[in-house]
Amino acid sequence: MRLRDRLSYKQVKYTVSVAFILRLIFSVFQVTHDYKTQDKSIDSAMQSMLYLMLTKPLLKLARHVKQVRRGSDHKTPAMQE
């Protein structure tokens, strides 16, 4: 009897095929999950950077306007020319 005709060979062949297909499916799920997680992480980091970039200059401007309205003699270095 040839090796390819034996039951054990057929069982191993199907087992390896099923294991390969299952591993492929789980790998696709894992890559998709990792992608979504990283995408959310990058979005969160970008949102916090944008928040800092927009609020810090506005806070400085608000402080400056507040000082000017009070009539403060304290000038910022940019104003001392």
* Predicted confidence (pLDDT) per residue in 20-66, tens digit: 999 999 999 999 999 999 999 999 999 988 887 777 887 888 888 88
pLDDT, residue 2, reads 86
More confident residue, 37 or 75: 37
**3-state SS, residue 12:** helix
Grade residue 81 by pLDDT with cuts at 50, 70 and 90. very low
- CA–CA distance, 39 with 35 (Å, rounded to integer): 6
pLDDT of 24 reads: 98
- Any residues with CB less than 8 A from the CB of 67 and at least 6 apart, and which? 74
Output the six-digit token pair for 57. 């200059």
| Measured distance CA(44)–CA(52) in Å, rounded | 12
Query: Is the pLDDT at 77 greater than 70, yes or no?
Result: no
Q: Which amino acid is at 74?
A: H
pLDDT of 72: 58
Q: In residues, how long is the chain?
A: 81
* Domain residue limits, the chain: 3-67
